[in-house]
Structures are given as structure tokens and as C-alpha cells.
Amino acid sequence: MYFDAAQITQASWAFSHAEKVVARYYRMSEGRLQGLRYDVKTLAYLEEPEINERAFAQLCRYKYEPERGGIKKDSFSFYRVCLQDNRILDAVNRTAVFVKLPPLLFYIATHELVHVIRFDAGEENFEASWDAKELEEQRVSAITREMLSNLFYPGLKLILDCFSDYPQVGNLLN
């Protein structure tokens, strides 16, 4: 099950608005926000290691290392948010009376962008142990709920209530 054109547009909207919410929360300048190295891919465009059957999204990190003598400061990390369309659509289809796609995508986008910012700033180690990753997931879930709890967006409160006990929104992969 893949996102259709309308659902891809909804995902794009979700990330665009999540960027604004996250930037405001972290008091990021527009330049700092635009300097984040990440992209978003849907299931149809993912490689095998980017697919995860247990999460709505998976954050992958790729490292760029220059080939010309390798000055360390020229290397950088690039993050990919890998949306698992099938998992997201299945959750919406199973709970269609309550859970709607736009607020779920908005929550997922915000959650994953918090991860990107925290890893990019060095607040957390992407290569941490599984126990540390579990703690990071709990922290990011709490930060995401804090960011979104005062916003009015139809269906968002239900999403926040559903995910109040630390859901498995995303996984992290080197």
C-alpha cells in the first residue's frame, strides 16, 4: 500500500508545517532551519534497509566523506526520513472513524524533525546503544507532545492522546 498523489501532498504539507513548529520551539533562524540536511521519502522510493515493518517512519543517517584527502570538516551527515506508507495507511484504515491521515502525518513529521535537530546538534548520539535509543525515543515523544499540545488542528488531540504512552513512531538506522 503506497501513498497516492493526494496523500503525498498531505505528507509534504505536514513536513512544511512541522518545520515551522519545530523552528519556533527551538528558536531556530530560517537559515539554520534551511541548513538541516534531510529529505523525506515515501515507501515507493525506499531501499530495502530503509523499510521497517514496526514503525510509521524510520530515520536513516548517511555520511558524506570527501574523497580528496578527506579534510574532516568537509564531511557531514545527511538524514532521510523514510515514511512507511503501508503502516501509516493501515493505522488510518483500521481506525478511520477516529484517526485521520493529516494530523497523523503532522505528528510523525514533527517527531522525526525533532530527531533530526537533536542529532544534528549533537544532543544525542545516533549510534547509541538500543537502551539509549529507547530513552531518546521517549524524550522525543515528550518534546513532540509538548510542541503540539497547544496547537489547534482538527484530530491532533486524539493523535496526542493515542501516543501519550510512547508509541513506536520511528526507528533509527545507521
Give the tens place of pLDDT for each residue, 4-59: 999 999 999 999 999 999 999 999 987 787 889 999 999 999 999 999 999 999 99
How far lies 118's CA from each of 21, 98, 134, 158, in Å? 15, 31, 15, 26
Q: How far apart are CA 149 and CA 132, in angstroms?
A: 25
Q: How far apart are CA 13 and CA 96, in angstroms?
A: 20
- 28 Cβ contact list (under 8 Å, min separation 6): 22, 117
pTM: 0.89
Q: Pick 159 or 73 by higher pLDDT.
A: 159
Q: Which of 8, 112, 1 has the alpha carbon at shortest distance from 60?
A: 112
